[in-house]
Structure 1
Amino acid sequence: MKKILLLFVLAAISISCKNEEKKETKKENFPNELAKVFEKHGGIEAWKKAKTLSFNKGDEVYTTDLQSRKIVVKAPNYSLGFDGKEVWLSQKDSTAFKGNKNFYYNLYFYFYAMPFVLADDGIMYEKTTDLVFDGVSYPGFKISYKANIGSSPDDNYLIYYNKDSYQMEWLAYTVTFNSKKPSEKYSIIRYNDWNSVSSLLLPKSITWYNQDSIGAPTEPKRAATEFTLPLISDTKISDSFFEKPTK
């Protein structure tokens, strides 16, 4: 029902936005191999034109304005989001949401919007050592951020792809949100399968893996995290949608 309502909202707004002025597409500058990964997943131009992304993770419904990165996460007993200025939390009681709202509100958006979020401004790229799993080598790139970009500029990502198809296969990442210090401790995710959503290839499920002494993946750490009801739209949602509920 929530997804149906969102579709109606998008359709209504679309009528009033037909005369919106088109923006010039900025020419991007990525390493050639990484550009092929983006192209395999639908292309940066298509991603940049999209206005709204929505998906479900369990009973959480995520809706993001892709241009401003405003976001709302709605669950039965709580909601949280970013209105463009601050991260907010609304819950039925003090135990409904047990995480850190500032860390959690866009966490799964980033995992879901791979590899496209690795084309954001302020990113630096460098080739990294291949990841080897079950005898198969996956080439990769290290992604780091320029100073003062985002809330955790010391975070690093390692993206690995299929050397023949250029489809993304693995993501390794560090977490520096709490420590605010660089880290060499990586967690690793396998991107299991994909959905074609409005010409973009977005993940259907991801699985965290255990790692050996040198950081190579070994076996799944837990059951796969599944994403459902994906939606990409070129229609912008009203800013009021992302504001904290008044009750």
Structure 2
Amino acid sequence: MKKIFLVLLVLVVVISCNKSIKKQKKYPENLSKVIEKHGGFDVWRSFKTVTFTVKNEEHTTDLNSRKALVNTDKYSLGFDGENVWLKEQDLAAFKGNPEFYYNLYFYFYAMPFVLTDDGIIYSETKAIEFEGVSYPGIKISYKANVGTSPDDNYFIYYHPETYQMEWLGYTVTYFSKKPSSEFNIIRYNDWENVNGLVLPKSITWYKKNEEGNPLAPTREPTKFSSALLSKAPLADSFFEKPKQ
């Protein structure tokens, strides 16, 4: 009986250690500081669902499964865990590619936390300069076969003193299915505290010079509103295509 007890005790210790190792995933020190500036890993992982509004669309995403729903009065689209679907109340109301679009704004909104997903490779990248400030950067790439666009690259740039995220560079390879050296750049300088997390109120696309440094806005800011974080997951049926 004592031997059985000891064996069970060893198994419990091993399982606990394995769980601790998984929780202690290593990130670059500077990225960890950025995450902490925005609320921290523990707070982010305590939530199950996020909802926000952008361009009169209500976006809801399950933070674990990444199931998603985008709702408007003219159309709805979503990802049910297996398939992306589109339902239009008005014919041809949605302009775009549903598979590309359904989680596009979620990724922009959930920065910098989505840059800690599994399958990510971190490396150094050169800083960018704007209005006399040099913003250090981290390059984020993906392992093969991760997501629908594993050749995408992201570049996060943070303030050298506060470690708050200030800029995001990104490439788009979804349509070409080929690596690209051309990248877009977004300024993140308008934030709000949502349940302990620092999340964007708006983002602004910028044009850049030949060195990749931002110059001036290319359009009006894209605004996020009605942000809501929940610690309760939604039912799977919430993300399924309506039958009627």
Deviates more, 1:212-221 or 1:131-140: 212-221
Match of 1:141? 138
Q: What CA distance in whole angstroms lies between the structure 1 residues aligned with 2:128 and 2:190?
A: 18
Matched, 1:46 2:40: no
- 52, 66, 71: which one pairs with 1:69? 66
C-alpha contact 1:41 1:202 (8 A) present in aligned 2: yes
1:35 aligned onto 2:32: yes
Counterpart of 2:188 (choices 179, 186, 191) is 191
Give the structure-1-normalised TM-score: 0.89
User: Among 105, 109, 112, which residue is 1:112 paired with?
Assistant: 109
1:83 to 80, 85, 100: 80
Identical counterparts, % of pairs: 59
- Please state whether the residue corresponding to 2:91 is helix, strand or coil: coil
Structure 2 residue 161 is matched with structure 1 residue 161 = no
SS in structure 2 opposite 1:193? Answer: strand
Partner Cα distance (2:175, 2:147) in 1? 14
**Contact residue 73 and residue 89 of structure 2 kept, 8 A:** no
Q: Provide the residue aligned with 1:95 in structure 2.
A: 92
Given that residues 72 and 242 in structure 1 are in contact (C-alpha distance below 8 angstroms), is that contact kept between their aligned partners in structure 2? yes
What is the Cα deviation at residue 94 of structure 1?
A: 2.8
Rounded to whole Å, the distance in 2 between the matches of 1:192 and 1:228 is 15
Residues 128 and 212, structure 2, Cα contact 8 Å, conserved in 1: no
In the alignment, structure 1 segments of 5+ residues that lack a partner are 1-22
Q: CA deviation at 1:211?
A: 1.3
| TM-score after normalising by structure 2 | 0.90
- Aligned residue for 2:23, secondary structure, equals coil
Residue in 1 that maps onto 2:8: none
| Structure having the higher Rg | 2
| Aligned-partner Cα distance in 2 for 1:143–1:124 | 6
Question: 1:172 and 1:186 mapped to 2: Cα distance?
Answer: 6
Cα distance in 2, alignment partners of residues 150 and 127 from structure 1: 22
What are the superposed Cα offsets for residues 17-46 of structure 1, whole Å, 9 maximum, x if unpaired? xxxxxx977112111111000010011121
What displacement does 1:236 show? 0.6
Contact 1:52 1:66 in 2 (8 A): yes
Distance (Å, rounded) in 2 between the aligned partners of 1:236 and 1:195? 23
Q: Deviations over 1:184-241 (max 9, x none)?
A: 0000000021110110110000000011122221100000000001011111111100
Root mean square deviation, CA, Å: 1.1
Which residue of structure 2 lines up, in the alignment, with residue 6 of structure 1?
A: none
Pick which of 174-183 and 209-218 moved more.
209-218
Give the partner amino acid of 1:46.
V
Asked if 1:200 corresponds to 2:181, the answer is no
Structure 1: distance between partners of 2:210 and 2:91:
40
Is residue 144–residue 155 contact of structure 1 (8 Å, CA) maintained in 2?
yes
Write the letter of the residue equivalent to 2:178: K
Q: Distance in 1 between matches of 2:242 and 2:155?
A: 37
Cα distance in 1, alignment partners of residues 176 and 46 from structure 2 = 35
Question: What is the number of residues matched between the two proteins?
Answer: 225
Aligned to 2:120: 123
